[in-house]
Amino acid sequence: MSKKPVIICVDDEPIILESLKIELKKSLGEELLLETAEGGEDALELIDELLAEGCEIVAVISDYLMPNIRGDELLKQIHRISPKIIKIMLTGQADLEAVANTIKYAKLYRYISKPWQSEDLKLTVKEAVNSYFMEKQLAEQNAQLQTLNQELETLVEERTAQLRLSQEKFAKAFRCSPNPITITRVKDGHYLEINEAFCRTIGYSAAEILDRTALDLNLWESTQARAELFKMLDDNKIVRNYEFDWRTKSGELRTGLLSAEIIDIHSETCVISVIQDISDRKLAEEKLRAVAASLAAAQRIARVGNWECDLSANTTTWSEELSQIFGLDSSQAPPTLTEFLKYVHPDDRPKWQIAIDAAIASRQSYSLEYRILRPELIIAADNCPSQTSEGGFIRYIESRGEAIVNQQGQVTKLFTTLMDITPRKLAEIALAESEEKYRHLVETSQDIIWSCDAEGHLTFVNQAVKQIYGYDPEEMLGCSFGDFLAPAQIDRNRELQQRLLTGDDVFQYESIVLGKDGRQIDVNTKAIARLDAAGNITGTTGTASDITERKQAEIALQKAKEEADRANKAKSEFLSNMSHELRTPLNAILGFCQLLTRDTALGTDEQQYLGIISRSGEHLLDLINNILQMSKIEVGLVTLNNSTFDLQKMLKNTEQMLKLQAEKKGLQLIFDFPPDLPQYVETDESKLRQILINVVGNAIKFTAEGGVNLRIKYELLSNKNYGEIPLVDNCCLLFEVEDTGPGITSQEMDNLFKPFAQTESGRKAQEGTGLGLPISQQFVQLMGGKMTVTSRVGCGSIFKFDVRVSIPSAVEIQVAQTARRVVGIEPGQPEYRILAVDDRLESRLLLMRMLSSLGFAVRDAENGVQAVEIWSSWEPHLIWMDMRMPVMDGYEATKRIKAHLKGQATVIIALTASAFDEERSVILSAGCDDFVAKPFREQVILEKMAKYLGVRYVYDREASLSSDAVASGDVSAHTGTAPLPFTLNASLFGSMPAEWVDELYAAADAVDNERIFGLLLSIPPINASFRSAIADLANNFRCDRIIDLIDEFRNL
């Protein structure tokens, strides 16, 4: 078997092994031998054989999912056999935990997702092979470096001794680690402990770091990377070698590997982190490889060169690195000892000459720091900031030399080493400049900066104290802060100082100080204890800021907020009262209309009159709702009720409804939208329809000739998921309504969207409340859009608006169950006792007539006191409870009933005329099982009773509204389970002309029963059942069902 280094590929699929072998053969050539194994057991046997024969195994590339032994387990076993083998895993299904464990226990070099990218595979394997041989080469060269570095040991002995002394001094604490180490608290990310290496690495002092977060210090280059790290910590409790970029105080970006682990310290969850600066490590690795090549490279790593001077021959020998330091061409003859002097900075030449002469005369060694001048066009390898002087760039040199004597004791040679210490010297200069800069910042700061000794006496305070307190700094030295506090603050300040002096962390507090002129000053103080090298507290340091203006502003803001809250509360109470007072009489009007329509003895005229009363009441209710809607908008109580619906269907229905209105005026109405307009969208359908009806309806209303054009476009915005419904895109619908009306003057444009304000055309029309456009504009804004208008007098107007919608990936169409007219209670049920509680006689009478006529036992009460008494003696099954009554309101009555054990079994349903959802939530929290809004419909009342009491009803066969079972003509009653001979379906509309269907649709959408019954007269007698079913839908306020059936017919 060949002794070439081996790479083993492991996979249970021969085809994949062959593919791997071909790919790697192309990339690696003949330098390495590729072996394959079909499974983990074969791989382990192959490794044993190769190792026994003395073969060198470079890497193992293993699939993750294999029979018997999975890839991660195989790599762990291989790691135990030979840790130096590089492990690479191919995976398409491995979870993060498996990968993390493989990294942890098998030192996984890399994992490659299947199917792999050819370039990624080749690059990864090449890097792995290079890494293996580099590590091997470094290990082999290490022994050589030991010998080569002997000559350097003398030069670094002093620094090594200093470093050893420093390490021994801090060996008992984690702060001695050369790697930055931190301990942070998980809950808020605050630094609790840091070592000197961390401070040195990022450039901040400990005082600037402790009790602050990495985000406060802007350390992380990427906050996303930080979030990813904490996610990994949360999942695995430990992270190893996470590569990230951080920012030092000076703004320099560095790259490192971070290892972190969750630990508990005094029952508090913390993270201990160790950072390894990759940049320096990589630089060191490069230098080590250079050292292995030659001693000159080793000298370059340390920026150390040497020269040897033969005094008798007046010749010198320079190392390669020395030529680099001086910026000279190494191929040219080096300068002699005399010529060398011209490269020394003129100001340093005398001391250099004295040192050389003294070394020769005394036959002893010498040490000297001086500056040299490099040629101007040569750039230093370390890219340090350049200082220029006449003759070239300045570099700082540390020189050590000794005289070499012969057997006669004569000095024959000088041997000198030179180290380029420019970076260190520039750092020392920069540090001195930084200290001066920060001294200036302290003196010019607008905040007070202070220091106290261990007894709390001020030892330093900057000039800002004069501006804030009125005292000169000298007047405060030796005093304590307690001497300047308001009397009520002294004890608290003493306690805070004591906490600081006993080792508390950084904290801040607010206090009141008396200025020199006696005025009170609000101050925010931040303080920290100072520690010496032994950890003893030597005093405190901190800052103090004048926050007097901020405090005054906070007080004023709080007062303004309280006044605004009182005003909003008063407005909400007024709106709630107005809603109750307006809806309550409408409840009686519409309710008794429903009762009267059940009377078969009424003639056609009477039924027509009732229809007029009902429609007028509904119209009045719409006007009231508009006013209340505007009021709710103003107080921020309107929310979106999003649902998924058919947008194209809604647009077509709206067009059909408005087309009759336009045709009556001889106008052309066009709804123009692209064929690829999304069919199903998710938004508030009701509000969108109301916007279209308001804007297009206004355009038709005020246009005398020409037409109205609605153009719809859409834009897809982004890919997102919302909740549990995956959305293909966020979508913006763009609407443009253009008319040929009279136009709007610039004077009227300002009032166009103001509530109750109307243009001259609106006043002439004497229609509406002036709320349509304001409500529409508010709805558009609520739906994430904006409404604008442009107009030219005499030419027309263009209204533009957009709304944000979501496009769901799947649409579930809910088919609503329709109701049927109830004529009684099905036999065989208990006598249901119902209590109607309302302070208005007409409301009680409505409920009593409605329910007693169906077979319920009904009693009434006019206030909460009577309700509690009747409940106690009569024990009704269900109580219809009005919430606003004199003597005792419904809230209190409900609470008293529900407080009893038997009251828990009594169903209480609130009757409310409120238009506000917030009040309804209060109703439910009072103990009511449900609520119904006034004015209510008979169908809703009966459905609630069926829901809570399980009542079973008998339905009128002719009045059945079910889309699956509509009575044909038999007037006898039957239960809802009986089969029906006639079924109302959409196809029946095909027997009528298209114009008739369009007019019926418009009448149903307008809830205009008079128009509906007029149209029903056109149905021929042969279709009497069809006519009767439509009439029943209208009589039972199910115009929505008529609209649904026509929409279904149009889609056939």
Task: Output the DSSP codes for 492-519.
Answer: HHHHHHHHHHTT---EEEEEEEE-TTS-
> What's the whole-number mean pLDDT along residues 420-447?
80
Residue linked to tokens 């042969």: 1022
Percent of the chain having pLDDT more than 70? Answer: 79
Amino acid residing at 101 = N
469 contacts 516 by C-beta, under 8 angstroms = yes
CATH of 179-283, one of 1.10.10.10, 3.40.50.720, 3.30.450.20, 3.40.50.1820: 3.30.450.20
> What's the whole-number mean pLDDT along residues 940-965?
72
> What's the whole-number mean pLDDT along residues 223-232?
89
> What's the whole-number mean pLDDT along residues 733-746?
90
The pLDDT score that the predictor gives to residue 331 is 81
May I ask the CATH class of domain 6-146? alpha beta
Query: Is residue 146 predicted with pLDDT exceeding 80?
Result: no
The pLDDT score that the predictor gives to residue 876 is 96
The band of 801, judged by pLDDT with boundaries at 50, 70 and 90, is very high
Query: Is residue 858 predicted with pLDDT exceeding 60?
Result: yes
Per DSSP, helices labelled H in 598-684 are: 604-634, 647-664
Query: Is residue 328 predicted with pLDDT exceeding 80?
Result: yes
**Cα R_g (the chain), whole angstroms:** 45
The band of 765, judged by pLDDT with boundaries at 50, 70 and 90, is very low
> Three-state SS across 924-993?
HHCCCCEEEECCCCHHHHHHHHHHHHCCCEEEECCCCCCCCCECCCCCCEEECCCCCCECCCHHHHHHCC
Query: Is residue 721 predicted with pLDDT exceeding 70?
Result: no
Query: Is residue 526 predicted with pLDDT exceeding 60?
Result: yes
205 contacts 229 by C-beta, under 8 angstroms = no
Q: What gap in Å lies between CA 973 and CA 282, rounded to an integer?
A: 93
CATH fold of 295-429 reads Beta-Lactamase (3.30.450)
pLDDT, the chain, mean: 80
Q: Which of 245-254, 380-389, 451-460 has the lowest mean pLDDT?
A: 380-389
Closest CA to 957 of 982, 937, 932, 986: 982
Closest CA to 189 of 207, 215, 165, 208: 215
Q: Which of 521-530, 667-676, 960-969 has the lowest mean pLDDT?
A: 960-969
Q: Which is higher by pLDDT, 290 or 73?
A: 73
The band of 622, judged by pLDDT with boundaries at 50, 70 and 90, is low
The pLDDT score that the predictor gives to residue 373 is 86
Backbone angles phi, psi at 2, to 5 degrees: -60, 145
The band of 152, judged by pLDDT with boundaries at 50, 70 and 90, is low
The pLDDT score that the predictor gives to residue 812 is 45
The band of 1019, judged by pLDDT with boundaries at 50, 70 and 90, is confident
The pLDDT score that the predictor gives to residue 455 is 82
118 contact partners, CB below 8 Å, separation of at least 6? 23
620 contact partners, CB below 8 Å, separation of at least 6? 586
CATH for the stretch 553-631: 1.10.287
The pLDDT score that the predictor gives to residue 1021 is 64
185 contacts 505 by C-beta, under 8 angstroms = no
Q: Which is higher by pLDDT, 380 or 407?
A: 407
Q: Which of 330-334, 583-587, 647-651, 876-880 has the lowest mean pLDDT?
A: 583-587
Longest Cα–Cα distance of the chain, Å, equals: 150
Q: What gap in Å lies between CA 888 and CA 839, rounded to an integer?
A: 10
367 contacts 399 by C-beta, under 8 angstroms = yes
Other Cβ atoms less than 10 A from the Cβ of 89: the count is 26
Same CATH fold assignment for domains 553-631 and 642-808? no
The pLDDT score that the predictor gives to residue 204 is 93
Helix (H, G, I), strand (E, B) or coil at 1025: helix
pTM: 0.33
The pLDDT score that the predictor gives to residue 898 is 93
The band of 1020, judged by pLDDT with boundaries at 50, 70 and 90, is confident
The residue extents of the domains of the chain are 6-146, 179-283, 295-429, 445-546, 553-631, 642-808
Q: What gap in Å lies between CA 880 and CA 870, rounded to an integer?
A: 13
CATH of 642-808, one of 3.30.565.10, 3.10.20.30, 3.40.1260.10, 2.40.50.100: 3.30.565.10
CATH fold of 445-546 reads Beta-Lactamase (3.30.450)
The pLDDT score that the predictor gives to residue 971 is 30
